[in-house]
Amino acid sequence: MITDSVPLPIEFLPCDSEGTIVEMCGRPCQVQRLEELGIRQGCNVRMVCRGEPCLICIEGRRISLRLGDSADIFVVPTNG
């Protein structure tokens, strides 16, 4: 069971679960690119489909992400 207080990498968020982005780290150019796409700390995100790439939904927009070693996104789950 996932608890509300433990940040986890976004790729571990179960399908159809939501979370809040609490930290992003990686190469500055990659983090900046994510922010330009609207993926930033404090945003609510829903995992649509796990995998590589994963499909997330932020503010009604679906975004396909292939992070690899370039960046990490950590979320706190808001539902189980």
pLDDT in tens, 25-69: 998 999 999 999 999 999 999 999 998 899 999 999 999 998 777
Amino acid at site 57: C
Work out the burial of residue 55: count CB atoms within 10 Å of its CB; fewer than 13 is exposed, 13-18 middle, 19 or more buried.
middle
pLDDT of 80 higher than 70: no
Task: Report if residue 32 sits inside a domain.
Answer: yes
Which domain CATH number covers 12? Answer: 2.30.30.90
Task: Report if residue 1 sits inside a domain.
Answer: no
Task: Report if residue 3 sits inside a domain.
Answer: no
How many other β-carbons are positioned within 10 Å of the β-carbon of residue 42? 7
Note the pTM of the prediction, 2 decimals: 0.85
- HSE-CB at 61 with a 13 A cutoff on CA atoms is 9
Task: Report if residue 51 sits inside a domain.
Answer: yes
pLDDT tier at 1, thresholds 50, 70, 90? very low
Cα–Cα dist 34/79, whole Å: 24
The more confident residue out of 11 and 67 is: 11
Task: Report if residue 49 sits inside a domain.
Answer: yes
Domain range for residue 72? 8-77
**Count of the separate structural domains present in the chain:** 1
Task: Report if residue 2 sits inside a domain.
Answer: no
